[in-house]
Structures are given as structure tokens and as C-alpha cells.
Amino acid sequence: MNFTAKQIADLLQGEIVGDPNKEVTTLAKIEKGCEGALSFLANPKYEPYIYTTASSVCIVNKSFSPSKELPDSLTLIKVDDAYSCFAKLLELYDSMLIEEPRIDQPSFIDESASIGKDVYIGHFVSIGKNVEIGDNVRIYPNVSIGNNVKINDGTTLYSGVTIYRDCIIGKKCTIHAGAVIGADGFGFAPDKNGKFQRIPQIGNVILENNVDIGANSTIDRATMGSTIIKEGTKIDNLVQIGHNVEIGKDTAIAAQVGVAGSTTIGNNVMIGGQAGFAGHIKVGNRVMVAAQSGVGNNVKDNTTIMGSPAFDSNDYKKSFVGFRRLPMILKRLQELESKIKKLIKE
């Protein structure tokens, strides 16, 4: 990366305040800037750092007006929205790091597999029978892709991803290292002797377009039919999604969440870390679930819940106030009991 302030301003349609020829070679947080770094300021909380930063160029909102003198070495680029513009640059920088199309050796590709245009396949990748790989797909080393899997255009699979047979991965999905898509659902039934017998899991997993799956997350295949993650949903690291679960569009799930089998989660749901969901329940659209909540029942649309068991967040907060007062309440009860005993003796 080697750009001048003018080149960046032209890309972002921004206004330069300072030296248009100032060069940047890296990106940095404003509080950890260095010479040759490009930073941004969007949150007023970080404004004090702009007066001491060592960064060479900083992207700011057009509304920014310095309250004191800026470093002489700093050039500003003023834009309508500093945060979104910096995100655009991050995306550009990330695209520069993409592996060039090629197939590294050794890799193991069944002769019946179909490979699209401009695909990168890293060392020790295994691709099974009748697999379909779309255009511009990136498959990093040590990925295993089972038979009859379909991976659509522009998807990236990072190192160590495993995709079991028959699964379908949409366009422009990102699956991070160590994730497992399509392992058996947790299906066992006890026989007359109390021994657990495995129930074959013959379904698959479908990820629709623009789905992100975090590192070491697991999405189980359906017993029958499909486990479905719908378009635009983002799943963090270390998340477990059970068999026959359906998650709606543009839902965000933070790390260490567990969703038991056959549960349905709606669109635009936000789920905090370590929340747990019982099986066979329905969570509505635009629901917000606080971290570490235990969700055991159906949840209506537009609801915010917290606690374990989880219920309406406003009721939970009122209940928690009472819970925190329990030691004082117990002390007062003990005092009242003591007074009552004295009255009885008298």
C-alpha cells in the first residue's frame, strides 16, 4: 500500500486540508498512529488523540473543527462520513491481500468436480465427487469439501474449513478457519435397554448469499430437509447451530451462542454472546437477546429479552433491582422476627 493524500481524497471525494502529496503506507488507529499511517476520526470520544497523533493523514467528518492546533505533519481529508469512508478503504486494502487465482500442489480434486474461473485453491485442499465451485472462489489450505457440495461465486473458505456432503454455500459467503458446515445433528434415541441409537442425519446445510461464519463455529446438517442460514446473516466465532434450525435474514449472532435443533430465528435479530436457545421454539423478527440469556420459549416480534430464563428486559431490570436488595430485605426480616419474639415473651 502506497498512496498520496490526493489519491485517497479523489477516491473518497473528500477535501484535503494540508499537503496533498503526503504519502501513506499503512493503516493505524488514531491513538497509535505513526509516520506514514492513515487514520480516521469519527467518534468525538477520540478527538483528543488527533492533537497528538503521529499519523500522516487522517480522515475526518466535514463538520470537524479543531479546538486547538493540529500537528504540523498531519494532513486531513474531510468527507461526509468518516467511518464509512474508512471502511471503504479497509475493503480496498483487504482486496489487495487476496490470493491470485491458481491451484497449488499437492491438492486433491476429484475428476468429476467442476471448477469455475479465477479460483484459488491452496495446498492440501480436498474436493470430493460432483462438487461445483463457482467463479472467483478462494479456498485456503487444508480445506475439506465433501461430495455433491455446491459453492457459489465469490465465496472464501479459510484454512481448515470442513464442508460435509450435499451442502450448498451461496455467493460471497465467508467461512473462517476451523468452521464445520454439515456435521451430523445431535440425533440419538434410547432403545428398550436405555442404549442410545444413532438417528441418521440425511439432510444438509444451506447458507444463502453474503453469510459470514466465524472461526470454529459449527452448523449441523438437518435430520431431513435443510438447516438454513438466510441471506446477510453474520455468525461470530464458536457458535453452535443445531440440526433443522432456520435463521432469518440479516441476523447477527455473537460468540459462544448455542441454538438447539428445530428452532426458528427471525430476520434482523441481534443475539449477544453466550446466549442459549432451547429446541423447537420460534423467535420473531427484530428481537434483541442480551448476552448470557437462556431462551426457553417463543419470543414475539420487536421484543428485547434478557436473563435466564429470559423475559422482557424492562421487567428483568426491575426484578434485578429487587434481587440486589435481598440481603437488606433479609436483614430487616431478621430484625422484625427478633422484635416479634420479644413481644411474644412480654
Q: Classify domain 3-96 at the CATH class level.
A: alpha beta
Domain definitions of the chain by residue range: 3-96, 102-315, 316-345
- pLDDT of res. 1: 66
Catalytic residues: 243
Superfamily of domain 102-315: Hexapeptide repeat proteins (2.160.10.10)
Q: What is the pLDDT of residue 209?
A: 98
DSSP-derived 3-state class of residue 220: strand
**What is the mean pLDDT of each successive set of 10 residues along the chain, which is 346 residues long?**
90 94 93 93 94 96 93 95 91 84 96 97 98 98 98 98 98 98 93 92 97 98 97 98 98 98 98 97 97 95 90 78 80 87 80
**Residue-level pLDDT at 339:** 84
Phi-psi region of 36 (alpha: psi -120 to 50; beta: other; left: phi over 0): left
Does residue 146 contact residue 166 with C-beta atoms inside 8 Å?
A: yes
- pTM for the whole thing? 0.82
Distance separating alpha carbons of residues 61 and 115, to the nearest angstrom: 45
Q: Calculate the CA dihedral of residues 60, 66, 68, 74 and round it to 10 degrees.
A: 30
pLDDT for the residue numbered 140: 97
**Phi and psi at residue 331, to the nearest 5°:** -60, -45
